[in-house]
Chain A
């Protein structure tokens, strides 16, 4: 039987490798139009997010629907221009280089989408699908294209390639379709991969195969990966660091094990508490869930966006001021006022609950 272990620690700590992608104070705001003309406000999907991604590093961005992770991903892919802030790839703003600059950046990024069938044009054969990115980057020689296609198909274990080259997407299983999507993302040897819920639409037994494949590819190519998901249980198998997003902001950043065993933010704690492992005992008790729902991104709550649902919220602080990132543990940043020195006492309640978790 094939197995897969947790992520092995990388050779050097992430921060010492050069930053491949830098996101600085990124804001992705969508305009709301009134009757075709006039502005009715903004949907602040991503509101001031900053982080660095290093070569060969795999990070996961985790959050529920409406937290802004999709918009963040679209901005990183260059599909949506930011309202404010910058996205730097190898030091250059990806939007500053005009059409040519953006096109070059796109050849450096591979995109794996959630819906394997929808991500493939149904009227194109596998060969044609994989040829497109090569044609766009100017590979004119047909044989060279075919050779590269064969090579990448072997890599994603669609082997022998001849069996699949002339098939159309609807003739493939979900897992095979996703492999084609991954092949397409990898065919130009990118340095960065963005994977948006790559396994959530696959069956349970196939998920593992694909996750393992992604891991293998990442290691072999030293790929930097942004893995976006709402399923925290898969994160362990594929990422070194996790960012947790809520209502457009990143509220916690830490290495994977750190976050899973020592969550700091009340929302992260709630998230972890809500995830079940298969255990019959679950049926006998209720799970604690924070009340309410994620806020509107048009008029988010003032101060910390989680405060209306947070049972540790501090009146007068959390509902007024946006918390900065506090370094709570080594390589672990949390945007929560409880970690301000002034609130050590209120923090105690949280720490007791955290103790129950472990």
Chain B
């Protein structure tokens, strides 16, 4: 997921769903069919590469590059971590994603709550400031961070990757949490305190349960952004290799089918998480 994809998702989260919308009619029958056909074709276009990735994860490549179809095999799936460097890279990416998400969620959530609850001077300016990281192309963001680290004389590696990821995640976390907690009835907190709860108890019993769904959504988005980031990471990684960096290096030397296997596996795991999340929300009827 690239930063702009994240922005598009935040955009959807930020808009309230329309209520019980019935389908529109009357574009004229032929126009209607034509429209649906075009939409179907566009959807198909979106899916072609995904089919190819899943298909090629079962390929038995002849040479070093898994680019042409040779024959069906389950070997790749039987041994997804055949290449230790790929496994290491994936492990490192997951570490970076988890750590950076943890930091960004704390900083971003505090910011979001402050923005929703308190009207202060400069509120609007903070809003604009939050959007700025989305308007800079990633290549410039990566380059600017690299010049900072050069200025400071810091060696690039795990820490600088972590710093960079937190930097682009904060905005997403803050905007996602804000989108979800906007419109909550904050007087519930006053009610809790009036009934004798301590501020800490109020926070854990009232505030936190209200904002948790927003935080979970933000954390998932942030994790996905970090796991997939290539461009910014490329600039600040030094000799450290994350999963996307491994994939990029592979395109120059050898593309094993395990890349497609892991991509498919990540896709399936995300879908399961998403499905579980949706079911859980339906059950609890929260947000």
- Check if A and B associate: no
Residue numbers of A with Cβ under 8 A of B are none
